[in-house]
Structure 1
Amino acid sequence: MGKLFDRALSAYSYADIDRRLKARFFLVLCIVILAAILVLTFLAGIIQHLNVGYLVNSVIVTLLLSTACLLVVLRLLVRGYFLLAAHLLIVIIMTAVWIVMVVDPGEPVARLDSFVYIISLLGLLPLVIHRRKSVIALYGLINLVFLFGFVYFFRPQLAIPDYAVMDFLTDNALAVIVSCFVAASVFAINNAAIKRAKAEVEERKRAEEERRKLEARLYQAEKMEAIGQLVGKLAHDFNNMLSVVIGNTELIRMQQDIDENGREQLQTIQYVATRSSDLIRQLLAFARKQTVIPKIIDINQAISDMLPMLHQLVGANISLKWLPGETPGHILIDPSQMDQVLTNLLVNARDAVGDTGTITIETRRLLLDQRYDIGQGESLSGAYLLLAVSDTGCGMDKETQSQVFEPFFSTKKGQGTGLGLATVYGIVRQHSGFIRVYSEPGQGTTFKIYFPEVEGQTVEEGVKHPASSLIPGGTETVLMVEDDPAILKFGVTVLEQLGYNVLAADSPEKALALARSGGHAIDLLLTDVVMPEMSGHELAGCIRETIPTVRCLYISGYTANAISNGDLIENHICFLAKPFSIRELAEKVREALS
């Protein structure tokens, strides 16, 4: 039975459960009345068969007309016209009552007594419609008009004195009015209860939506953390191997007895190894595990400095517009990673635009007094700098947007690595920022990045001198600690060729033994960060107890939690990321010693 009702009321949405329940009530009422009419028609047929009189024919006609009207009501109700069907049903019932009042051969006074009870019950029906209190008053007024008309029409037949007519009308009218007031009171109570119920339902919906958003954010955070741990472990081992490949390739290329073909092959090996290193760096950036040295920069100035390179990147057929914010703003970010963000966003926009189109870079300062909704259940407050990159390209659908920041996801059909936007996402989040994408198929795409604004002076970059062909060297004593034998051998070879006196240790324990022996004046500790027995940072602290003046240079492909980015800035720690070239190692060693 329930399924039949649900099918009959399919025009009413579950979102408007109030109206659906009312429609169900009227549907049941119509069915009950139809059943009653069938019974009455059957009884009327039996009475007519007994030749009781002319009245039975009029009753049957009335019942048949009522049935036709009820079928119309049912049709309207099923098609979704609730208000029209409800009002029509009430009018039909009231009309039927008045017809019975008029054609009933009994005493008018007895009929009026019955009328008062019936009208009192009918006064409750408008409650179900539940739209306006004026509906109850309207039906009450109509019944009062009919009451006075009935008394006026049947006045000669009323078996009461003339002086009692007004009392009679007053009593019956008062009964109708009281029933309307009762209905109005019930209406108010019912309305308040429904409003409270709706408020509770809405509150539960909001709570459920908030819980769903929190679960989605927690799942994303856990997924990112898992990816970060995996990438970190891979990066440490992979960068160690790449360091050996790149370093030894450079050592071989420095030899004089290699023909041109051999040099080209070595150059190819070095190029592939460098490309592999870039991929690992992008993965670390996505997982927010990359070692960075943030600086306060003027975002408008940083973008302006990159414009010539960005124009070359997008090509001559694509128009690149630069709309800087009126007021300058400063953000805290590693300058090299700012370059990565812009480059990857511009490459993505260029590929989406195709042959011709427009790419727009815009910055704007946002001062948010209240929490500003940026989507996905997150909001901002305070001072932020907005960096927006828009294009007039092909756009993206919702499904693509939900995956666009995932690593290795690409729509370029084998032409991309799928790490560009993932890298942007990781860099932005690592610098406490937020990124959102807005797009429609065929309508272009806009990436909006929100960076926290910081106060302070921008860090002026030192004057960059042309790179010298000579690799700097020295004569100081360097203690190199590295648990990977291949990297240790490579480092010792390079440093000895540069003139340094090198002490090698493949574990922190051996390094401490060399430092405490007192036979060597160690000027520089060159150590890996992540090692089995203790971290490089802990090792430096132990050696400084014996040699307080020793300088330190840390090397690692992945620092994990051994050295934070804050330590690199606040304590002026020298750090060299693996893999590195011979020149990078030589220059960093010289920088640490000086």
Structure 2
Amino acid sequence: MLPAFFSSLLVQAGALALSLYSGFTNRRQFFWWMLALIAAALATTTLVILSIDRDAPIFSGPLSGLYAALYLVVSVGVFALVIQLRQLNAGAGGIAADMLTQLSGILDASPIPFVITRLADAHIVYVNAAACRLFAASREQMLGADIGRFFPDQEGFEGRLTVARQHESYAHQDVTYVTLTGQTLHARSSGTKLTIDNQDHMLSSIIDVSTEKQAEADLKDSEGKFSALFYQSIVGIQIFKPDGEIEAVNPAFEQLWGIKFDEIRDYNILKDPQIRAIDGDDIDKLFAGQELIDFPTITYEMSFPEQKPSISRTISPRAFSIRNERGDITQIVVMHLDITERAKAEEQLKQAQKMEAFGQLTGGIAHDFNNLLAVILGNLDLAADQRRDDADLARLLEPAIRASERGAELVQQLLAFSRRQPLQPQPIKLQENILDMIGILQRTLGEDIEIGTKFSDGGAECMADPAQLESALLNLAVNARHAMPQNGKLTIETAEVWLDEHYAATRFEVTPGPYLMLAVSDTGIGMPPDVAARAFDPFFTTKGNSGTGLGLSMVYGFAKQSGGHVAIYSEDGHGTTVRLYLPKASHEVQLPRPETGDISAAVAGTKLLVVEDDDDVRDLTETLLKSLACHPVLASSGAEALAMLGQSGPFDVLLTDVVLPGGLSGVDIARQAERLQPGIKVMFMSGYTENAVIHHGKLDEGVILLQKPFRRADMAQKLTEALT
């Protein structure tokens, strides 16, 4: 016989479970008060359990107080019952039939589904009410039925039945059933073998975990989609823990900032002073629970460990929080949309608009002032002519006339910048004009400055006003002289070039097509980036009171009015190159457009170590090399390049900038590379012209130099040259 108190406990618990379903209509039972005492003890305790019955929502979430007390009593009681049954079953003859009747009364009160199956023929001899609800069947439909009908996989069922016959018990097995209505049911089952009337039976508890399985499947699907988004997104993504510590970054983030996750594993966004200074309030709101935050566009400088230069990017950040089922924040996701190129394009547009506004303003003033000067200078000439014999008056008129003439020259410069100066363009042989001016240029520059030339235009002609071209070249030479106060070398070069669509797309008012390039390079002090950015602005000068700030502005206006383009390249301490692009004369045989077909066959598969400190140039180089089916490995400094030579080699080609920060030049890296990896091919790249770089002592004769700005065809040509 089962202990009376034990039986009573389970019956009372089952009755109270039914009372809970009906809304606690009977609260006068002794058992109710007993549970109330247990509930008081559990008032501050929360039990989180799985759903065990589709129709018993009180067991589908966190439980506390009375609910927790009921669950503990019922669950502990049921499992104690199983232990008691196993002890009784161990006796002679097992459990008698009358005990099964008593057992049925106890199990019927349980919210946990129970089934007793005769192992000999797999027929069901007992089901409780919870099991009937679970299988969507009546007791009559289930009793005597083959339990195999509730298994969708008959072969799997036969295997389970064989195992059950051979073992005394099983625990927490995942089983798939099918209800009488055809619904698939995922369950977790435990069982113990009983001997009833000398026949083996299996008492099985069946807990419905379909919701859990579906949640797992949904979670897996969600995680799969998030993983695909995370790893394949072109947007940089960071994931943070609730305390601000970084948890993960995606490949796009690593590529955007040129850093690996291991290098920032200790980063905490809440402790980043730069972020807090930019938008600390929004960061605090995000980690405090605000769902979605669109941060303002920021320019952020990512600092790295020693020997690795920082990287600056303009990004449009967006962030949101991920919460668990209880509403607690588990992760913070921050997305970095890189808008650096867009910001630069906007800045170029602003610069073009500013120059246009300057031009309109100065053009209007210059036009009116020119009229005034014409009157003044004309009358001064008349006065001087009429009073030739008056020496005192002549002494007064001469400085006034000279000042008026200088004013007229200034007006011409203003008109040139504003593109309002009348031009008389005609076909010009650039090489001949430059050679004719060498004498004037040498006298202007002085004996301390050497002039060198290199002509690669094949005697081609450009369309320009000869007088204004000479004035532009003279202005460039004078500007270079001020950058070389002691001594130095001025290099003048010409070449036929093709400015392609990619080059034109990133610069305003540039039309793709054939041009003649006139480049003037010096070995002077160079310009820092902020000065180079304003070099063409009118009235901007670094010469103090000795300069007007109109020399390069006039060159800019002349280039634009001629339908051409001007670009400046300078590095602080390393000289300057100004390139003037003028349209090629239409009657000339046009320069063949570079091949746009498949030019990658000869260089495909080449592994290169690319060393470039400028982020944009490094990114462009990587893109062009990948388009040629090459395999570039990037370094932003000499120290990083030397480390990669030892870690990521061997390399077929070293492609390095000539001038690099940090004490190691491109030449130094090339020497180390040839020592560490004999036979490696070396290519240099520079914004200076080849002639200027070599003859200024930076490179030796015969080196392969890729001149910035370069195109895909240029890269392929130089790389082919290096490999052959």
Q: TM-score range by the shorter chain?
A: 0.3 to 0.5
TM-score under structure 2 length normalisation: 0.38
Q: Quick check: which one's strand share is greater?
A: 2
TM-score under structure 1 length normalisation: 0.45
Which structure is higher in RCO with an 8 Å CA cutoff and minimum separation 6? 1
